Amino acid sequence: MKSNTFDTIVVGAGMSGGWAAKEFSEQGFKTLLLERGPNVEHLKDYPTTNMQPWEFKHRGRLTAQDMEENPIASSCYAYREDAKHFFVKDKEHPYVQKKPFDWLRGYQVGGKSIMWARQVQRWSQYDFEGPARDGFAVDWPIRYNDLEPWYTYVEQFVGVSGNKDGLDTLPDGDFLKPWESNVVEEYFSAEMKKHYDDRHVIYGRCAHLTESKPQFVEQGRGLCMSRRICQRGCPLGGYFNANSTLIPWALKTGNLTLKPNSVVHSVLYDETLQKAIGVRVIDAKTKESQDYFAKVVFVTAATLNTNLILLNSKSKRFPNGLGNDNGLMGKYIAFHNYRATINAQYKGFPDRIIEGAKPTSHYVPRFRNVYKQETDFLRGYAAGFGASPERETDREGFGQNLKDQLLQTKETGVWNVNSHMMGETIPKASNQVSLDHEKVDEWGIPLLNIDVDYDENDEKMIQDFFEQFTEMFTKAGFVNIQTNDNKRRPGNDIHEMGGVRMGKDPKTSLLNGWNQLHECKNVFVTDGACMTSTSTQNPSLTFMAITARAANYAIEQMKKELI
């Protein structure tokens, strides 16, 4: 038992778990970081990162067999020949779909931070106030002011490229310089300012290094070269992932023990002490069980797995899952609605082109129902925006003739423009996950039942996006406007949240304002499972800020011997 005892245990070595491990290790606490998948070391374990297109057997594409065997994983934009080894395969880790749901996962040290889209926007005061204002779901126990210093703390370590836009709906952060916008992106931004007071088209804030600073040099990271193959893992450390920053930083303190291939079965609860005392782990390869002990446990296994672990953490005191006295654990799952897209063309600036690339697009912050309820649907949506010149290439012929023609790309003078919606879904008790009573995985852990779907609010929001962006595109002089509902399934946004939500009242929530379980104060949840609502921003920056804040609170409490 002595050799298996630590000050803290962190479950899940992804983005949130990496932050918890860094904070505890850096401040002198012996920390165990558990990951159910294999180790992925920065540089060493990026097998495709420097490969050229012609070096891939299928030129980067998926085979028909791969798509047939992995209909869920292959639906993700990043699941391609160059990065599919970082994704969970459908048959290897099954789950039960009560309704169609794409559960996209990355089981390895670093988790999905290796393949993520790297968009990082802060929440505003209106996002935290939303549930209290419209009366749907429960009030957040924290506000923007509580998280503001932690946003800055995280941004300074991660490195975020962005502009100071001065918007109250999307607070500015501690930014590195941005890439340049192209002429049509600048034009559309100017046109929206001309026609609207509340609609802004800004440079998309992203976790990429555009300039060097001492902390990045100390991390061993170089500048982003905008190769745009980030999902392979970056040998330069040009974008942020847990592998290149958080975990090496924690390991060099000498206080972190990293254990990959460790499937967490449950959190252990002591009936006499009335608190958690550790976790039960099953070796991913040998299937042998082992218990580890600590004063504090951070469960950051990613939203749905965190729900699964806590629901499976049963005891005489908690027969329905650790801290689940109110029966709400697993309920109020929400996600982002990415179904709506719009495309058009612009025939202005025919003499202008673009050179090179940038790792992000432009961004339209939410403008619906921000300050008051003004539509027949709740909450709102943000949107991406991009523009690129349309080019023609003659691909006829063979051999040298074909090679020569491919080098003679012709500019048409026409620009393609596009936007996609990122809509907030409403947390509902009917959107829930639960443990299956009969089916278990190969480690003897119950499979997760996922019962999540769209609703009428989502459909109304999609139609509003179509109407508003058609109007915006028309006012900008765009032509050949086409809207599309891509019918993406819930979960395909990879932004699922909730199930162990924060709140002020133990009767209606599972966690308090410091991310502690109301009924078991030495267990913290700081990944997407803790979210009371989803807002419209990409959530990763908020997960990291919440984790850093909660970890430092736990450290203070441990020093005072209060937990």
Per residue in 249-297, pLDDT tens? 999 999 999 999 999 999 999 999 999 999 999 999 999 999 999 999 9
* 5 and 25 inside one domain: yes
Instruction: Print the domain residue range for 325.
Output: 1-50+106-161+255-335+425-452+495-563
Q: Is residue 354 part of a domain?
A: yes
Given this model, what pLDDT does residue 5 score?
98
Q: Is residue 58 part of a domain?
A: no
2: confidence class by pLDDT, cuts 50, 70, 90: confident
Residues 301-351: pLDDT tens digits? 999 999 999 999 999 999 999 999 999 999 999 999 999 999 999 999 999
pLDDT (average), residues 541-548: 98
Nearest CA among 499, 495, 366, 337 for reference residue 424: 337
Q: Is residue 80 part of a domain?
A: no
* 327 and 405 inside one domain: no
Q: Is residue 72 part of a domain?
A: no
Percent of the chain with pLDDT over 90: 94
Residues 56-99: pLDDT tens digits? 999 999 999 999 999 999 999 999 999 999 999 999 999 999 99
Answer whether residue 396 shows pLDDT above 90: no
Point out the domain boundary residue: 438, 467, 489. 489
Percent of the chain with pLDDT over 70: 100
Distance CA 460, CA 5 (A): 52
Q: Is residue 432 part of a domain?
A: yes
Q: Is residue 502 part of a domain?
A: yes
pTM of the prediction?
0.97
* 111 and 25 inside one domain: yes
Distance CA 256, CA 32 (A): 6
* 366 and 312 inside one domain: no
Q: Is residue 526 part of a domain?
A: yes
Tokens 């802060």 -> residue: 122
Point out the domain boundary residue: 443, 473, 489. 489
* 182 and 302 inside one domain: no
Distance CA 33, CA 332 (A): 28
pLDDT (average), residues 410-422: 94
Paired tokens of 131: 């549930």
Given this model, what pLDDT does residue 476 score?
98
* 517 and 563 inside one domain: yes
362-364 and 202-203: which strand pairing?
antiparallel
pLDDT (average), residues 414-434: 97
The answer to whether 83 and 115 are in contact (CB under 8 A) is yes
* 1 and 17 inside one domain: yes
* 322 and 400 inside one domain: no
Give me the chain's average pLDDT, please: 96
pLDDT (average), residues 218-224: 97
The answer to whether 162 and 176 are in contact (CB under 8 A) is yes
* 398 and 520 inside one domain: no
Instruction: Quote the number of domains for the chain.
Output: 2
Q: Is residue 175 part of a domain?
A: yes
Q: What is the CATH number of the domain that holds 131?
A: 3.50.50.60
pLDDT (average), residues 167-172: 97
Q: How many CB atoms lie within 10 A of CB 409?
A: 10
* 280 and 320 inside one domain: yes
Q: What is the largest CA-CA distance in the chain?
A: 81
Answer whether residue 505 shows pLDDT above 80: yes
137: confidence class by pLDDT, cuts 50, 70, 90: confident
213: confidence class by pLDDT, cuts 50, 70, 90: very high
Residues 17-57: pLDDT tens digits? 999 999 999 999 999 999 999 999 999 999 999 999 999 99
* 324 and 344 inside one domain: no
pLDDT (average), residues 136-152: 96
pLDDT (average), residues 402-406: 87
* 21 and 124 inside one domain: yes
